[in-house]
Amino acid sequence: MFKPSPSRSSFNQKPATNLSQPVLAMFALLALTFAATAAFAQVAADAAVPNRLGGYARVEPMDLTHPAANQPSGSPLLVFPGDAATSREAFASSFDANSSPAGSGPSGQSSPAAGHWRVINSEISGVLPGLDTVPTFEGAFAAQAGPSLGTVFPFIVVGRDPHIGRTTRIPTRVTTVSLNLLNADGTLRVNVPFTFEDLVEDSPNFEESNFTSGRHIQFEDAVQRAQFFNQMAEDWHTRLGEPQFVNRVTLTIPRFVNVQFPDGSVKAVQAYFLGQAPDGTFFVELLDLLFNALNTNQAVNDIVAGNFSTDAFNFTLYPNTFLFSIDNQGQFAGCCVLGFHTFFRQTGVTPQPRWIYHFASWISPGIFGGGFQDVTALSHEIAESVFDPFVNTRTPNWQFPGVPATAKICQANLEEGDPIEVLSNATIPIFLRERKEVFTYHPQNIPLVQWFEMGPTSNAIGGAFSYPDTTLLTHSALPCPQ
């Protein structure tokens, strides 16, 4: 989801596409193959260091047979959605978290105690009947304040029942993307390579560190154990496998793209802005409409090629690539989305295949505030995918912390990373040493599920509402002002 930004407003984007294998070749539509020749010796930046907070997107599942996939091959035309004010709404959620009902649980059910959950599916495999995907368990909580008081909110979590214990291992499969940015005449302006594989692999998302919820464990495992610390078996863990870099690709980005607007007009829109971080690395602000087409194409190709699998977390990682939106006049409307999570599915098949999917950008230091750098976006999306893998979990309508009570900046979903992303100290430094390499990473602190319950107390580790920094959220969520 998005968060307010000091300079340019962030935005909430949701790609929604679903393609069957026969139409995959058509997705070359937006390869926009321009001739790339010699790069300039000196590359001028056209975007200043933002020094702002970034945001995230909540993305609807992508259907592999969706008719939106059937774009004319080779067409450079992007279509602005007719019912949206900005391109960020092109792939918006099926409900507006600021105006939708606070949520509705199953009628006639008793309200479980705060923080308690029930296991619905306890098969040894842990995979929900009717799906071909990662193992999950299910639970629920009841809202303890606000208009949704007493309403039951179910949720689905990746892993196995904490009561049972044992370790669940989720493979991770990664495609890395480099960018060739073109000049208006089609010549190559600059190559922005993905050079962060070793740093990603050695990050707390995959390597072990010590936490109060356990020693020698991964970051997300630590967060999960903190949430269920007083109910779990001691040997309960949810681990991500060592990243398997299954593909390395380079996308070609033109200087301008043609966008058709609701009034039928077609305008040339700048496709990217190039900036330079304090450490000298380039960062790219990329038009979300173009990104969606190119990235979806790449993800589907990885699925068809077998690079991505239903039993894994699948990632497409970019170098300092942040998405911006335009309004229905073609003017800049907001920046910057740093990542999202969703899933691809193939309809008409039983069990239905579901590929859990993440886009995240590596972030060089000094581009954003709030300590957002290196794997902040990656940790954010992993946390949200673990506790909302199918992007459908509603909660009471909660207000972002740290904003004026009358602001009504609210959401009504279980995007676990979002509430803290607006805070100035959203990340936590974790120092890791891998052989002779040392690096301080900045994963994001995560609100715990107990925060969304709106209760007076938390039954998480130490009564916490956030983790690993338990001091960030000192009480549960406040209901969205009426």
Query: pLDDT tens digits for 462-480?
Result: 999 999 999 999 999 999 9
Place of tokens 């950008």: 361
Residue-level pLDDT at 8: 31
Asked if residues 417 and 383 have their Cβ atoms less than 8 Å apart, the reply is yes
Residue-level pLDDT at 406: 83
Residue-level pLDDT at 64: 64
| Cα–Cα dist 197/176, whole Å | 8
Report the DSSP pairing between strands 244-253 and 209-211. unpaired
Which tokens in the block code for residue 431?
């120092």
| Cα–Cα dist 171/182, whole Å | 36
- Spans of the chain below 70 pLDDT: 1-44, 48-76, 90-125
Q: Is 270 helix (H, G, I), strand (E, B) or coil?
A: strand
Residue-level pLDDT at 269: 95
Dihedral pair phi/psi, residue 50, rounded to 5°? -65, -40
Structure pTM?
0.83
H-helix or E-strand spanning residue 111: none
For the chain, the structural domain boundaries read: 21-479
Place of tokens 């959203």: 426
Residue-level pLDDT at 14: 32
Which has the closest alpha carbon to 419: 450, 459, 456, 460? Answer: 450
What's the distance, CA 215 to chain centroid? Answer: 27
H-helix or E-strand spanning residue 420: helix 418-421
Residue-level pLDDT at 66: 52
